[in-house]
Chain A
Amino acid sequence: MSTSQVVVDEHAHENPALLHHFATAGQQKNAAGLGMWLFLAQEVMFFGGLFCAYLVYRYKYFADFGSASQQLDIRLGTTNTVVLICSSLTVVLAIRAVQLGKRMALVFWLVATILLGLAFLGIKADEYAEKFEKHHVPGASFSYHELLPGQEKLPAAERQYANPHHAEMFFSLYFAMTGMHALHMVIGVGLFGFLAYKGWRGKYTPDYYTPIENAGLYWHFVDIVWIYLFGLLYLIDRHR
């Protein structure tokens, strides 16, 4: 039968980051980590709804989706994928830095992450602008007159064109999915900006760097979403 009682404020003077309702810093960190993972779980379901819509219409209109996918610039998409992968590396290096107590290295890697994130957003903006020029933005000004994949090999009279409504569906989902992803990136960049400032002020130490760790989890999640978006949106039927 346990008779030990935990005196709650025992460690408070040791660790100013310890909140009053937690008994130990370890408990607080575990709670924060679990909370972050649950938040990511709900983010999976949030994006999941969009993936479901995409799956349904790709199944229904595969050929038209293939045609529309070829309108995306695969070089820019690949570049963005590489940019995000590098930004995940910089996040991991930032966490390593704070675990090793290196304040300026932490700030350096956080700023690097921010710059890579901004680069991603800049490239995305460029892609969106190009889509706007080609009238591939869904809505009143949408117009699409492209061949289905592989049709160029046929004689001109027999070539089939993609159904513009179905192509518009692809672009609706493209903008919804990449737009939602970009919104999450903007939030992430802002978050890292705040953390970089706090980190520069010396708030994070090897004993307390939970916000950096949790922001890192968020950022890696956003990277994973892009890994799937890239594969699903840019790489359909490229071989034709």
Chain B
Amino acid sequence: MSDHNSSSEPISEHISSLGSCLAIWLALLAGTTLTVAAAFIDLGPFNTIVALSIATIKATLVVLFYMHVKYTHEKLTGLVIVSAIFFLFILLALSMADYTTRLWR
């Protein structure tokens, strides 16, 4: 196995093309426009879901492309991200398990 358990190439020797940088930028701006427009339409309970979904898509684009996660060979990076999100989800979900059931008989 390789010495020092490090991949022989650095984390992101990948150089993003100018086109991809701009494309993501435009996608993020489009997402912003969309989320603001959607806020003014009555979708009932789906307003929140739409807003959070668009935010998550934007965040995913930033993580994958701007933060180079798509181009890295390191699976560990993905594991760190997923772990953080997972434990945050636990905090939110189990706390809400209390609050949503407080008034149940």
Binding partners A and B: yes
Shortest Cβ distance from residue A143 to the other chain B in the assembled complex, whole angstroms = 27
Main secondary structure of the interface of B (DSSP, over half): helix
**Is A89 on the interface with B (CB-CB < 8 A)?**
yes
B 6-27 binary contact with A (CB < 8 Å = 1; else 0): 1111111001101001101100
Q: Please tell me if the beta carbons of A86 and B15 are within 8 angstroms of each other in the complex.
A: no
Q: Please tell me if the beta carbons of B100 and A59 are within 8 angstroms of each other in the complex.
A: yes
Q: Given the complex, which residues of B lie within 8 Å of A48, measured CB to CB?
A: 88, 91-92
Partner of B77, one of A37, A42, A86: A37
**Is A213 on the interface with B (CB-CB < 8 A)?**
yes
Q: Given the complex, which residues of B lie within 8 Å of A88, measured CB to CB?
A: 25, 28, 62, 66
Residue of A nearest to B77 (CB): A37
Q: Please tell me if the beta carbons of A30 and B10 are within 8 angstroms of each other in the complex.
A: yes
Q: Please tell me if the beta carbons of B51 and A56 are within 8 angstroms of each other in the complex.
A: no
| A37-B81 in contact given A55-B92, A85-B25, A85-B29 (Cβ < 8 Å) | yes
Shortest Cβ distance from residue A209 to the other chain B in the assembled complex, whole angstroms = 10
Interface residues of A (CB under 8 A from B): 4, 6, 23-27, 29-31, 33-34, 37-38, 40-42, 44-45, 48-49, 51-52, 55-56, 59-60, 74, 78, 81-82, 85-86, 88-89, 91-93, 95-96, 99-100, 213, 216-217, 220, 223-224, 227-228, 230-232, 234-240
Shortest 4 CB-CB distances between A and B: which pairs? Answer: A41-B84, A235-B39, A238-B39, A44-B84
28 A-B residue contacts at CB 8 Å? A24-B4, A26-B6, A30-B7, A30-B10, A33-B12, A33-B74, A34-B77, A37-B80, A41-B84, A42-B84, A44-B84, A51-B92, A52-B91, A56-B96, A60-B99, A74-B39, A85-B25, A85-B28, A88-B28, A99-B15, A220-B63, A220-B67, A227-B59, A228-B52, A231-B51, A235-B35, A235-B47, A239-B39
